[in-house]
Amino acid sequence: MTAPRFGLGKDLIGLETLSGDQIRGILDTAEPFKEISERAIKKVPVLRGKTIVNLFFEASTRTRVSFEFAEKRLSADTVNIASTGSSVSKGETLVDTARNLEAMRIDMVVIRHGSSGAARFLAERIPSNVVNAGDGRHEHPTQGLLDMLTIRDRLGKLDGVRVCIVGDVLHSRVARSNIWGLTRMGAEVAVCGPRTLLPNGIEELGVRVFPRIEEAIEWADVLNVLRLQLERMQAGYVPSLREYNRVFGVSSERLERAPRDILILHPGPMNRGVEIDSDVADGPHSVILNQVTNGVAVRMAVLFLLAGGEPERAEAAKGGE
Amino acid sequence: MMSGLGRGASGVGAGGSGGRPGSDDGRPVLLRGGRVIDPASGVDRVADVLLVDGRVEAVDTGIAGPDDSEVIDCGGLVVAPGLVDVHVHLREPGGEHKETIASGSAAAVAGGFTTVCAMPNTDPPIDDPAAVGFVAAEGLRAGLARVHPVGAISVSMAGERLTEVGEMVDAGAVGITDDGRPVSDAGLMRLALEYARTFDIPVAAHCEVLSLSRGGSMNEGVVSTRLGVMGIPNVAEDAMIARDLLLAQHTGARLHIQHVSTCDGVHMIRMAKEAGVRVTAEATPHHLILTDEAVDGYRTDAKMNPPLRSERDREGVRGGLADGTLDTLATDHAPHHYDEKEQAFEDAPFGIVGLETALGLMLTELVAKGEIDLRTLIERMSAGPARAFGLDAGTLRRGAPGDVTIIDPALEWTVEPKRFRSRSRNTPFGGWKLTGRAVRTIVGARTVWSLES
């Protein structure tokens, strides 16, 4: 079988600009990589000799560790740079960091930054591959990909699947990557939350809006429940966490009234008892830990492909070829 | 110091080329055979313009002129009153890495502007008569465009108490504004309007409800949603325009609304004018030409406040400029050092430069495309702004200051930011191919810039 040549380009900045074939290629590439993490010796020499810098301008445990495992299991040499709250303004740091990285001839940069557009900013200034690990409220493409992989694992497809993103869509890069990726793969996408947390013009991205969680549950096959940051309440977007839980919280009582089983995703970290109740998070329909596992495989796939690999070679590559 | 000089007198002082260090010998100037467009006096015909002793002596056909006249052939060119920009940021004092009064003046005359009004949001702000005097003096020392200081409304632009407006006026201030930091306290704005009325100067308002725009970096709409950038909604501007129009109506004072970017803002100003409110208003080239689509790709050179809006808003602003609801084109020339713009979008400062591109952009994008006619454009860039700020400028009537902008409407050129006279290059129009520009700028009957030089 000869697949069309698969080009991801130099960088992965977001899912908005990816084609269905590109997304499918990444997900298909992730499949064989899943197995590596199940081995006793979790390492293949795919990226041996490559240097990768994990550049985290924002605190992150889950995403950073996931990337680091992905890199190490592919045998890359990695360096972590965490730069939060430096006295220099973020942008100046970014320009100078870019120049320094360029001077050190590193192969790839994984960047997490608090400003939307920061990953693209870096990608336009250095020849290395850049992977966006979350930029402001813009995109978090590997999260979107691992969400899609997890849904596909369970439901066997993405086309026609109804996914509702619940919560703080306004400030969420996860929501945007989900919307672009899922709609591109033929899923139906909705958002649900208080209007204060839904951006103006969200319908124009091709999603429907459910004001109430009950309606969303009535409609959806999948709920992707977003974290409600405490500071949103402090900023007045929602009057109280209590009310948020009572009105928008995903509870087992609400899910029991659903016409079908609903798959529950959450990008983490969870606020148990706020956007999601513990019995839902720990319940039979929760795939939250599968997401974490899939995160490593998807990131391995992305790194492999950006380094010049092709989807059909992933199976061979993991054998050490 | 300069007390006793009224605004008009200070304007003359700034312009009378005789007193200017390094000025020419003061020979009469005869501009021969151009298409003279002076909307204020209703002139639009091929004629000669004679400038004597720094002033307009005559506009007529077949002027002979004194024997020692410097004769400048203007055949095929447009001879217009010197252009006026009532909204520029010259950054001095405190922001000299972005611009100085001298470099900003050089940019002004290279763009065809003979008069500019300098905003007070410097560091420290222009909020007392000494600071006003400094800006006026530096403008004179630069010896290029006439630089009129605009004083702050509130001390330190903190929005709390009024500056010494009367003394600033006597020192040469032509208006007051807290541009960039809107006056949130409606009571203070009322006092500012009432107090300014004493001196018959306009209060220039940057209309923005901060609690509605806070955290925003671009227009709120589908593009901001796509980019994940917090938005500034139209209502942040419209609500403040409404407030200030009502305060102007209540006080009977002169209100000048800066850089109107919304369709509904234009509509409200139109209604207020019909109701007799003494309001004037600005449109900028960027709001007339671009929409928020220009921000795509996180282009910090398309980041300004108020932000680029929707197509509907752009059409509304165009309509306002065409029918005179918006009296004046103003650039809101806002230089920033490239280090400051070379950042992630939300970290970069607001503002773009405009002095050296405004005329060419308007000729190319509005006049050539039939949105407004040349005569209307010149009115909005000369008599309109002069009227809004009560400046002795903007016309070629006999006795007016000898400020003239000579325009080649057919000259094709490309915007090359690296060749700007401004110290900054933050423009979204780099590389644009334009048709028409100023080729000679004359202030007080003295050529201060020409394309050949």
Q: How far apart are CA A69 and CA A37, in angstroms?
A: 9
Tell me the one-letter amino acid at B384: G
Of A226, A132, A238, the C-alpha closest to A194 is A238
Q: Which of B225, B345, B348 sits opposite A200 (nearest CB)?
A: B225
Query: Residue A230 — very low, low, confident or very high, per pLDDT cuts 50/70/90?
Result: confident
Q: Which of A91, A92, A201 sits opposite B221 (nearest CB)?
A: A201
Element (H, E) at A32: helix A20-34
pLDDT tens string, chain B, 453 residues long: the values are 334 333 433 333 333 333 343 345 689 999 999 999 999 999 999 999 999 999 999 999 999 989 999 999 999 999 999 999 999 999 999 999 999 999 999 999 999 999 999 999 999 999 999 999 999 999 999 999 999 999 999 999 999 999 999 999 999 999 999 999 999 999 999 999 999 999 999 999 999 999 999 999 999 999 999 999 999 999 999 999 999 999 999 999 999 999 999 999 999 999 999 999 999 999 999 999 999 999 999 999 999 999 999 999 999 999 999 999 999 999 999 999 999 999 899 999 999 999 999 999 999 999 999 999 999 999 999 999 999 999 999 999 999 999 999 999 999 999 999 999 999 999 999 999 999 999 999 999 999 999 987
Could A138 and B344 be called an inter-chain contact, meaning their C-beta atoms sit closer than 8 Å? no
Q: Which residues of B touch A199 (CB under 8 A)?
A: 224-225, 231
A34-38, A62-66, A229-233, A237-241: least confident range: A229-233
Q: What is the pLDDT of residue A6?
A: 62
Could A117 and B345 be called an inter-chain contact, meaning their C-beta atoms sit closer than 8 Å? yes
Q: Which of B225, B233, B345 sits opposite A202 (nearest CB)?
A: B225
Query: Residue A101 — very low, low, confident or very high, per pLDDT cuts 50/70/90?
Result: confident
Q: How far apart are CA A69 and CA A300, in angstroms?
A: 9
Cβ atoms within 10 Å, residue B409: 15
Q: How many CA atoms lie within 13 A of A236 on its CB side?
A: 2
State both tokens at B344: 């992630």
| Angle value at C-alpha A212, between A206 and A215, nearest 5 degrees | 75
Q: What is the pLDDT of residues B344-366, one digit of tens each?
A: 999 999 999 999 999 999 999 99
Query: Residue A100 — very low, low, confident or very high, per pLDDT cuts 50/70/90?
Result: confident
Q: Which residues of B touch A168 (CB under 8 A)?
A: none
A69-73, A74-78, A103-107, B419-423: least confident range: A103-107
Q: What is the pLDDT of residues B191-201, one digit of tens each?
A: 999 999 999 99
Q: Does A117 touch chain B (CB under 8 A)?
A: yes
Report H helices in B252-310. 263-274, 285-289
For residue B188, the distance in angstroms to the closest alpha carbon of chain A comes to 27
Q: Which of B225, B297, B344 sits opposite A91 (nearest CB)?
A: B344
Q: How far apart are CA B379 and CA B386, in angstroms?
A: 10
Nearest residue on chain B to A98, alpha-carbon basis: B343
Q: Which residues of B are annotated as catalytic?
A: 332
Of A153, A174, A155, the C-alpha closest to A165 is A174
Could A173 and B221 be called an inter-chain contact, meaning their C-beta atoms sit closer than 8 Å? no
Instruction: Identify from B226, B235, B310, B342 which residue to disrupt to test chain A contact, counting A C-beta atoms within 10 A and taking the largest count.
Output: B226
Q: Which residues of A touch B225 (CB under 8 A)?
A: 199-202, 204-205
Tell me the one-letter amino acid at A316: A
Q: What is the pLDDT of residues B27-44, one digit of tens each?
A: 999 999 999 999 999 999
Q: Which residues of A touch B233 (CB under 8 A)?
A: 200
Nearest residue on chain B to A90, alpha-carbon basis: B347
Could B225 and A91 be called an inter-chain contact, meaning their C-beta atoms sit closer than 8 Å? no
- Cβ neighbours of residue B91 under 8 Å, at least 6 residues apart? B98, B99, B100, B104, B122, B335
Burial code of A72-102, b = ≥16 C-beta within 10 A, e = fewer? ebbebebeeeeeeeeeeebbebbbebbeebe
Q: What mean pLDDT do residues A52-59 have?
A: 91
What is the rounded average pLDDT for all residues in chain A? 91
Could B226 and A205 be called an inter-chain contact, meaning their C-beta atoms sit closer than 8 Å? yes
State both tokens at A18: 């990816």
Q: Does A92 touch chain B (CB under 8 A)?
A: yes
Q: Does A237 touch chain B (CB under 8 A)?
A: no
Q: Which of A89, A95, A117 sits opposite B227 (nearest CB)?
A: A117
CA torsion angle B191 B192 B197 B202 (round to 10): -150
Cis peptide leading into residue B93 (ω within 30°)? yes
Binding-site residues on chain B for chain A (CB distance < 8 A): 220-222, 224-231, 233, 297-298, 339, 342-348
Q: Which of B222, B225, B346 sits opposite A115 (nearest CB)?
A: B346
Q: How many CA atoms lie within 13 A of B137 on its CB side?
A: 10
Q: Does A199 touch chain B (CB under 8 A)?
A: yes
For residue A216, the distance in angstroms to the closest alpha carbon of chain B comes to 22
Q: What is the pLDDT of residue B13?
A: 37
Query: Residue A84 — very low, low, confident or very high, per pLDDT cuts 50/70/90?
Result: low
Tell me the one-letter amino acid at B219: N
Instruction: Identify from A111, A116, A165, A174 which residue to disrupt to test chain B contact, counting B C-beta atoms within 10 A and taking the largest count.
Output: A116
Q: Does A202 touch chain B (CB under 8 A)?
A: yes
Could B347 and A135 be called an inter-chain contact, meaning their C-beta atoms sit closer than 8 Å? no
Q: Which residues of B touch A120 (CB under 8 A)?
A: 297-298
Of B182, B59, B186, B109, the C-alpha closest to B356 is B109
Cβ(B237)–Cβ(B208) below 8 Å? yes
In terms of Cβ atoms closer than 10 Å to its own Cβ (0-12, 13-18, 19+), residue B388 is buried
Instruction: Identify from A121, A124, A126, A234 which residue to disrupt to test chain B contact, counting B C-beta atoms within 10 A and taking the largest count.
Output: A121
Q: What share of chain A is helix, strand, coil (3-state, %, to 5)?
A: 45, 15, 40
Q: What share of chain B is helix, strand, coil (3-state, %, to 5)?
A: 35, 20, 40
Across the A/B interface, how many CB contacts are shorter than 8 Å? 79
Q: Does A90 touch chain B (CB under 8 A)?
A: yes
Could A199 and B224 be called an inter-chain contact, meaning their C-beta atoms sit closer than 8 Å? yes
State both tokens at B11: 């304007």
